[in-house]
Structure 1
């Protein structure tokens, strides 16, 4: 058959929604969806969330894409594309996460800087036992930095690598993480929108390939209670107008070699630490991961080559100079998460926030700072509501929708624990 088109967008819950469309749609084109998916929750509850227009007739919105953005797919006779959302009047939809990222990028470009992003994803592999219950994938020989069949007996990651290469995803690495059967997937840095486009499609591809092997590959933050958490680390730098790395002060990196741009971005991350959590760690399960001493971005702090701080300053300089923000997890929408970090960084530069001293504690037995994220989703959403500057920068309509849906999620999950809480999310994230 002629190739069909799979047109997709990543919604407020970090779910990939889309349609299969005929070959004639392969080009500059569009298709329509019900706008009220922005009021739909994981359990399919339809809610009158701000901007979803559930009680205003559930009108259409339009997904538009360009021919140049259409790419090959990992499914036969199928091509795939991501697009931008517009309202029924043809204006950019204020709830569109990809649109929020494009706005953030444009604001940095107005300063002569182009954001560059590299994203590290972590995921657990689960499989059904004889009773149909999800349990960790049986990889008893798995160790941190493990490769080969002891870490992955079914070798589903080999298939993910091969298909990623065929699809043009620039993988930096796949390796086993600290807690078996946990894996890390890192893509090479790129312009921010391109990097996030690649991440959301790679994540979808990896989950769909793993499912063919009977594996539920979940990027949720804490699916295995006795294991470590899974994060979505965002590495950020900027290209200046000559193409150089604007964070670089020379061949060496680290705290002693930060310039004013790096300090301003870092101050923005710290100033908006609590509010950011409500956006980039946005599920009840996120707060099982965000804990003291968990290498997860809990504390409002920063350091050099230190994995127990929230923002890590790479010791690499030159073209590789970067800031690594370690709070986010992949239950967040990656477009919204990166947009929020770019906006927090921009506010830090423009508002001249004071940068607190570098963390000197080990993060396990001693931590200098006493400030942290909230301990629960409820608290994090409340912190986000209080962060007016971040809300206005990211988009008040998008944040209002997010806050409403997450407040409902708090109620939906407050009596869930263990496998019941995991199963509320696991097949979606």
Structure 2
């Protein structure tokens, strides 16, 4: 037993923790949980705990259902919303096969494998997400539009506003769970908020995002509100994205920084961006995995629908933020396409894989887009060589199906399940008759 595991067992005893929840994530990004008694933890660390993997989306087939969850002691935290008496703690888990080998369908393992490839190339991948979401007054009722918690706008300061109280409570709870927050503010839509997490390695960030979603929902309920990470819950209002700043480090050195280069961006950084652009369409089905995602992408309001990069250009897919003199370690690029409802493990795995491909293959970075890409005509964008992101989940699926990069990064089982599931989602959506169609056509046709 290692020191971290010993620390967990000692802390559980000292704090009188009665329940330990083992968390893991299915292929679609849904958080799963099983509770274990503290007395069972020592064997859970050494042997894991068996469960029926066929009951979880994308994990395994019925005839090979036996799987094992083994907790990662480094992720131990008490759940702040459960109180101090007879407390509850959680740990993220790795999913194993009965022989102890990693399960190919484990999202966390997919990211670990991608990060190992980065480490083999000498890099550590860091990420910093800006997570947007909406708060509504009541649970959703079918056929009725959701009612936002407030009518405030971007950066609005509302005296005695519910959003202030909510964000303060959410940040306090996140910090109690060891998750550092950098900024928070009201976003552009009514009831829309943004909370930005501090930079961390990509695996820690993915774990933090899964915790973040749970904390936000728990705090919202305490404030008689309901949180949603749906990409585009309100027509005519901004969608909720997860703009993610990324960088590669070689040891303690930022591999994206080169003094004197344009925007202080190194050749490594330029080729990383080129990799993101070349593979942007084929990874969209994962970074934007829902039917509703493409209503955000193609809904304007600074959503990045076109495959281009720019310096401080918020209409571009990839943005190079303003360089701050003397802060070379903070050089980074911002990827603006991700939904806050994506599976962060799979999304980060594909981002680093695409960027590394650009570095390894020596991709050339195209000229930057200096104008508002949304303001250009289709002909102007074509003349500049600016491609489009997929306009629908169906188009994204077709691009993913042809991608060697995505297949290699996700592995056969995740790749195949993900495609099957998304095709089913698109089929279900296509079969619906929407209120838009009824309102527009029923009486006049």
| Dislocated runs of 4+, deviation >3 Å | 129-134, 147-151, 367-370, 415-420
1:309 aligns with one of 294, 306, 316: 316
1:186 match: 196
1:373 match: 389
2:149 aligns with one of 127, 138, 143: 138
Alignment of 1:16-95 (within 5 A): 16-27=31-42, 28=45, 30-39=48-57, 52-54=60-62, 56=63, 59-74=65-80, 75-76=82-83, 77-95=87-105
Identify unmatched segments of 5+ residues in structure 2.
1-15, 437-445
1:266-321 CA distance string (max 9 Å, x none) = 11101101101011100000011111744222111000111100000111251110
- Give the secondary-structure state (helix, strand or coil) at the position aligned to 1:364: helix
Note the aligned Cα RMSD (angstroms).
2.3
Distance 1:351 1:37 in 2: 41
1:425 match: none
Alpha carbons of 1:173 and 1:98: their partners in 2 closer, same or farther (altered >3 Å)?
same
- 2:114 maps to 1:104: yes
2:29 aligns with one of 1, 4, 14: 14
- Between Structure 1 and Structure 2, the one with more helix by share is 2
Alpha carbons of 1:344 and 1:154: their partners in 2 closer, same or farther (altered >3 Å)?
closer
Is contact 1:156–1:210 with CA below 8 Å preserved after alignment? yes
Distance 1:145 1:63 in 2: 42
Q: How many residues are paired up?
A: 404
Distance 1:282 1:180 in 2: 24
Is contact 1:291–1:375 with CA below 8 Å preserved after alignment? yes
Is contact 1:127–1:134 with CA below 8 Å preserved after alignment? no
1:40-79 CA distance string (max 9 Å, x none) = xxxxxxxxx6x6313x2x6121111233321121223100
Distance 2:166 2:99 in 1: 45
Query: What is the Cα deviation at residue 364 of structure 1?
Result: 2.5
What TM-score results when the alignment is normalised by the length of structure 2? Answer: 0.85
Alpha carbons of 1:23 and 1:38: their partners in 2 closer, same or farther (altered >3 Å)?
closer
Distance 2:68 2:145 in 1: 37
2:277 aligns with one of 267, 270, 274: 270
Query: What is the Cα deviation at residue 418 of structure 1?
Result: 6.7
Alpha carbons of 1:53 and 1:419: their partners in 2 closer, same or farther (altered >3 Å)?
farther
Alignment of 1:113-132 (within 5 A): 113-128=123-138
1:406 match: 422
Query: What is the Cα deviation at residue 197 of structure 1?
Result: 1.1
Alignment of 1:130-279 (within 5 A): 133=144, 135-140=146-151, 142-147=152-157, 149=159, 151-152=161-162, 155-241=165-251, 243-250=252-259, 255-279=262-286
Alpha carbons of 1:267 and 1:370: their partners in 2 closer, same or farther (altered >3 Å)?
closer
Query: What is the Cα deviation at residue 207 of structure 1?
Result: 1.1
2:6 match: none
Distance 1:219 1:138 in 2: 14
Of the structure 1 ranges 102-111 and 155-164, higher mean CA displacement relative to structure 2 is found in 155-164
Identify unmatched segments of 5+ residues in structure 1.
40-48, 421-429
1:6-38 CA distance string (max 9 Å, x none) = 111121221110112112244525323322244
